[in-house]
Structure 1
Amino acid sequence: MKVVLFARVSTNIQDYDRQINELTGLAKRNGWEIAASFAEKVSGAKKNNERTELLRMVEYVEANHINKVVVTELSRLGRDTLQVLEVIEMFNAKGISLYIQNYNIETLTDDGKVNPMSQFLITILAEVARMERKTIKERMDSGYQNFRANGGLVGRKQGYRKSDEAMKEEYAEEIRLLKRGYSLRNVSKLTHTSVNTLRKLTIKFC
């Protein structure tokens, strides 16, 4: 079985060699063939569309029909629950299993079905994500009301329209993924850009 190794550290003074070495040993013990390794030095709190190596890894496993991605721990995929959950759900939909070394658990069984234990983990993540979204919404609503109460105006200026160049710069990663043939739904999951916006980008630039 071909697998892809993925490692992440948060700062430039940290080294991901330990993670790669651990995962390499794990692959050898299990008889897995390592097709590729991806590693990045980036904060796990960053959004998926700001993580070049994560996006490259997702592209690679899809293009090369890889069945398994291996990480030392779930936080290597990221520390933002919503972002991690979206990657796992996308993997599940495409039949790609995620092996989490410190939990000794895979998201899919050998026949490609969702592992009940991993589903339990994902359910917990989903609930945490729901609570995070609720907290964020409450903070935004509170800030919005406070802004309005102090005379602030909301919304775009009348007649405002972004130039094509500004859109290209702002949505460079989205356009790149769309041109590579990713579906609107998958690009939306990876980048948190609405499907309607992606449709406009497709019409204009793809």
Structure 2
Amino acid sequence: MKVALYARVSTSDQTVENQKLRLIEYAKSQGFEYDFYEETETTRKTRPVKQKLLAKLRQGMYTSCIVYKLDRWARSSTELILDCTELVSKGIGFISLSDNLDFSTAAGQLQFQILAAFAQFERSLISERTKEGLRRAKSQGRPPGRPKGSKDGKKRKKSGYILREANKRKQKDEAIGVNKSIESYLD
């Protein structure tokens, strides 16, 4: 049985060594063959190692994904629920050592359903608060949305954005075997 071990820290000042030791120790104690994935200096939206691992999990390269703690895998309950729902529905195990959760067991699936219910409840509360805030702003004659800030009056640069988006489209095409020059993506 081959599993994926995933560890993440948010800054280069931190180290994954404690997570790594516990994950490898667990994998060896269970007799698992494993690959270790390590991610540092991530932002909310960019976690390339995790995306690479998810792609391999989707391809069936691993039977399970093991993390030290749930917050090392996902930054929000919504992200956790979406990722785990996909993995569990494909028969891929998800284990969190510190949280003592194994979503491949009956008890783990029950715990997962409870977590999912709380995440849905949280999303509903956020939606209700947002709608109430919009109603209050409308009744007070204010326009909806965030207040205008100092950067809203200035024209923003687009050159970097356009090139980044072109590179993203080019990489997606290259992944499916389509090779075109970067210039063709700049229109």
Q: Gaps (5+ residues) in structure 1?
A: 109-114, 155-164, 182-203
Per mean C-alpha deviation after superposition, the further-off stretch among 67-76 and 4-13 is 4-13
1:92-124 deviations in Å (ceiling 9; x for gaps): 12221112212444211xxxxxx2211221122
| TM-score calculated relative to the size of structure 1 | 0.65
Deviations 1:21-74 (A, max 9, x none): 22112112221111342323436xx3xx53322211101222352111111122
Against the structure 1 CA distance between its residues 24 and 177, is the aligned structure 2 distance closer, same or farther, given a 3 Å change threshold? Answer: farther
The answer as to whether partners of 2:2 and 2:34 remain within 8 angstroms in 1 is yes
Residue in 1 aligned with 2:61? 65
Q: Is the 8 A contact 2:6 2:65 kept in 1?
A: yes
For 2:144 and 2:130, the matched residues in 1 are separated by 15
Q: Distance in 2 between matches of 1:4 and 1:145?
A: 47
Structure-2 change in CA distance of 1:37 and 1:50 (3 Å): closer
Quick one: distance in 2 between partners of 1:15 and 1:84? 22
Q: Which has the larger radius of gyration?
A: 2
Give the distance between the partners of 2:163 and 2:121, measured in 1 at CA. Answer: 34
Who is 1:16 aligned against?
16
TM-score by length of 2: 0.70
- 1:84 corresponds in structure 2 to 80
Residues 126 and 175 of structure 1, relative CA distance in 2, 3 Å threshold: farther
**Alpha-carbon separation, structure 1, partners of 2:173 and 2:106:** 33
Distance 1:132 1:27, change over 3 A: same
Q: 1:76 to 1:132 in 2, by over 3 A?
A: same
Q: Aligned residues, how many?
A: 163
Q: For 1:174 and 1:117, locate their aligned partners in 2 and report how far apart those are by CA, in whole Å.
A: 42
Distance apart, 1:151 and its partner CA: 4.1
